[in-house]
Structure 1
Amino acid sequence: MTLLLRAPLTFRVNRTIWTRVRSRTWWEEVVMGSWGDAEWVENFRSTACEIFRETCQVICEVLLKEVIQFPTQRNMQSIVDGFRVKWGFPQVGGAIDGTHIPILAPELNPSDYFNRKGFYSIILQAISDDNYCFTNVCVGWAGSVHDARVFSNSGIFRKLQQNNLFPNTTENISGVDVPLVLLGDPANPLLPNLMKPFSDNGRLTPEQNQYSKRLSSARIVIENAFGRAKGRWRCLLKRNDCNLDIIPTIISACCILHNLCEFHRNPFNDRWLEGIDDFEGPNEHGNVPDDITGTIIRQAILEHFQNE
């Protein structure tokens, strides 16, 4: 007995935006027939810009506090373990840095926004965990402002001064009770909860060089976080021509969306990093003096690396 197999039927679905037939009279007779350039800009471009602005505002209003938040004590331990396993640096709760977001020269006080790299910008300061997720962002300072001033005027600095940024979790390292710390660069002050490299004056010891290299290899996670955010959201990489008043909101919205992508482990194409050089170059020292307790803690970590 022979069975005849009928090939499966295929149907082409006509996809359309509208469920019902729409009249083309208004489009053909009014829009195409009588509108000039001014009407097009007023009715379409301005509408698209307003939708974009409102979308960014809603993303920030609804999701900012939920998606970008400093870790709780339970989550903090996971971050500390991550920095220890990946880079061998103990007691790290995050890495902090700043990056410049290119903008169009503002009409008012444009020189305030002209940075040391030679373009107009707004500064994004952020803290990253060990998985490229932002746990804190500070957006809006003009590009000419020194990184140290941005940091010293941020909420993070105030919390560090008040000793209430991290849980009171210490580890005895080289005979010193070492608290949880952020990893910063030379522009940051040396504080009990903020470690930075030794200043390279040409006379560093091998141990000091080793410490600085270990710190820099761990702190690069924040630079990589900036790179991944700019790779996904190119408006952070190219010059943003929007009005200055909305740019901080756009930047914050991109940081939120970046975190959501990282939370859900969305694929990241390394080719998106082409053309991104987020190394800002060495920063000059800030005007906040190094803390004596911070110096003792840094020395304890240095000796820990020596004795490994």
Structure 2
Amino acid sequence: MEEDDERLRPFVFLMTYMLLKRRRDVNNADAQRRNEIQRRLRQRQYFFQRQRRMMMMMIAGGIRSNARIRTRPWTTVPSTDWWERVVMMEFQPSDWLDKFRMSRETFFYICDKLRSRLTRQDTSFRLALPVEKRVAVALWRLASNVEYRTISALFGVGKSTVCKCVRDMCHSIVALLRTDYLRPPSEPELEESARLFLSQWGFPHCVAAVATLHTAIITPSSNASDYINPAGWLSVLSQVTVNGHGQIWDMCACFPGGIEPAEILQKSSLWTTAAEGGLSPVPPYCFMGRQLNYVILGEPCYPLQSWLLKPYPEKRATRAHPAAPSERQNLFNRRLRRARCVAQEALLRLKARWQCLSKRNDCGLDVVPAMIRACCILHNVCESHGDAFNGEWLAEVAEAESPQPTYAEVDGDPDQSQGEDVRQLFCDYFQQND
């Protein structure tokens, strides 16, 4: 009997092990089945909730569209339909000019130039915005300066997307178009600008006029007092140099509004380049029997230089000019003011076309410099492409803009003797040709 038990014991152990293993496998299979069922239930619940949210958004969008049928007919269609059908297919040339401040041809030219930097890849969750729509969103902001919320509802994108479109396009314009549209002029371009100043404004041997541009901003997070300009409002100050065509070929942006324009000029590359004769051919052309570099016209707040002319003081309350200006000096002042209008008119067109520069700009100071440079480049693009300018935009600027500050006249500079000699040459020229 014991011998039979010994023989059966391995068999019993084997059967016991197999039964335990079978029970463990069954339990593991049950646990895996329960986990799979729960996973599928969670996944189905997620898709049901997502579908419900989409249905609620569609219903809410339909209600908002129906509520605005009587007042804004373009918003009765979905946002994508407004962009793809109304803008891209039904916009007339006047619509492109009014809404985007440029022709349709110029719009697509800019899109092609910026495509390499603005193209985005689709993701698993959403489709990327086309380059054309990204550019349109940003141009709408620059042209109208309306809130991000308004542009978001108009184009059917999020407010953060509008902000990103504006930021990306401004930086892309500066990076890709600056070398073509905002650069120092070549020698033939200088000669062409000098010819225009002589033929249109009667001022010879001049290639440009320099002026200042104040852009209103929100209160900065730090050093807010530095941004209060002489007119009493917060702004950033830019220096703009305009050629005979009314196009901008040099600018410095953006300094606190409380800085003096003369300080900006002396820190700019324009000062170094012009002082070293970089804005004239080698050797310089003769003027009134003397070899003389081309000159630039400036405001009274700038220092007088051999290459930078400004008007004679109008008042006699300065130590350097105790007497009233003579008749020949008054003649010089009239000719200079007339020629300097090219810069003032260019700035008016710039602010009227891109109203983010004429109204208070709500962007942060990390975006404003790139935005101002981008607007100057877009101004040159539109001017060089011959896009029409609507005179009604000027009235909008006059209504919205804060009065530009005025600066006291800088006089009695210790190193202005050469500039005074050059200014006397121009007085002689105007007196001979009056």
The letter of the residue matching 2:55 is: E
**Aligned pair partner of 1:144 in 242, 246, 258:** 258
Q: Find the aligned partners of 1:78 and 1:247 in 2 and give their Cα distance.
A: 32
1:162-188: CA deviation from partner (whole Å, max 9, x where unpaired): 232332353433333332011111111
Q: Please name the residue that 1:61 is paired with.
A: 175
Q: Find the aligned partners of 2:432 and 2:353 in 1 and give their Cα distance.
A: 41
> 1:261: how far off?
0.7
Report the TM-score, using the length of structure 1 for normalisation.
0.84
SS, match of residue 281 in structure 2? coil
Q: Please name the residue that 1:246 is paired with.
A: 367
SS, match of residue 345 in structure 2? helix
1:40-86: CA deviation from partner (whole Å, max 9, x where unpaired): 99x82112111211111111110012111121011111110000001
> 1:279: how far off?
5.9
The letter of the residue matching 2:301 is: A
**Aligned pair partner of 1:175 in 278, 289, 294:** 289
Q: Please name the residue that 1:215 is paired with.
A: 336
Q: Please name the residue that 2:195 is paired with.
A: 81
1:103 pairs with 2:217: yes
The structure whose RCO (Cα within 8 Å, separation 6+) is larger is 1
Q: If each structure's strand is expressed as a fraction of its own residues, which one has the higher value?
A: 1
1:28 pairs with 2:55: yes
Shift of the 96–179 alpha-carbon distance from structure 1 to 2, 3 Å rule, reads same
Unaligned runs of 5+ in 1: 1-22, 34-39
Q: Please name the residue that 2:426 is paired with.
A: 301
Aligned residues: percent identity? 31
Whether the 8 Å contact between 2:211 and 2:343 is mirrored in structure 1 is yes
Q: Find the aligned partners of 1:79 and 1:195 in 2 and give their Cα distance.
A: 16
Q: Find the aligned partners of 1:156 and 1:76 in 2 and give their Cα distance.
A: 14
Higher CA-based Rg: 2
RMSD: 2.4
The letter of the residue matching 2:310 is: K
Aligned residues: 279
Segment drifting more, 233-242 vs 47-56: 47-56
> After TM superposition, where is structure 1 displaced by more than 4 Å over at least 4 residues in a row?
23-26, 29-33, 277-280
Whether the 8 Å contact between 1:60 and 1:252 is mirrored in structure 2 is yes
Q: Find the aligned partners of 2:412 and 2:55 in 1 and give their Cα distance.
A: 65
SS, match of residue 99 in structure 1? strand
Whether the 8 Å contact between 2:279 and 2:294 is mirrored in structure 1 is no
Task: Spell out the pairing of 1:170-209 with structure 2 (5 A cutoff).
Answer: 170-202=284-316, 203-209=324-330
Whether the 8 Å contact between 2:226 and 2:257 is mirrored in structure 1 is yes
Shift of the 74–44 alpha-carbon distance from structure 1 to 2, 3 Å rule, reads same
Q: Please name the residue that 2:131 is paired with.
A: none
Shift of the 85–279 alpha-carbon distance from structure 1 to 2, 3 Å rule, reads farther
Q: Please name the residue that 1:162 is paired with.
A: 276
1:236 pairs with 2:357: yes
Whether the 8 Å contact between 1:173 and 1:301 is mirrored in structure 2 is no
> 1:292: how far off?
1.9
SS, match of residue 245 in structure 1? coil
Whether the 8 Å contact between 1:185 and 1:283 is mirrored in structure 2 is no
Q: If each structure's helix is expressed as a fraction of its own residues, which one has the higher value?
A: 2
Segment drifting more, 68-77 vs 290-299: 290-299
Q: Find the aligned partners of 1:199 and 1:169 in 2 and give their Cα distance.
A: 32
SS, match of residue 236 in structure 1? coil
Shift of the 188–24 alpha-carbon distance from structure 1 to 2, 3 Å rule, reads farther
The letter of the residue matching 1:303 is: D
1:292 pairs with 2:413: no
Report the TM-score, using the length of structure 2 for normalisation.
0.60
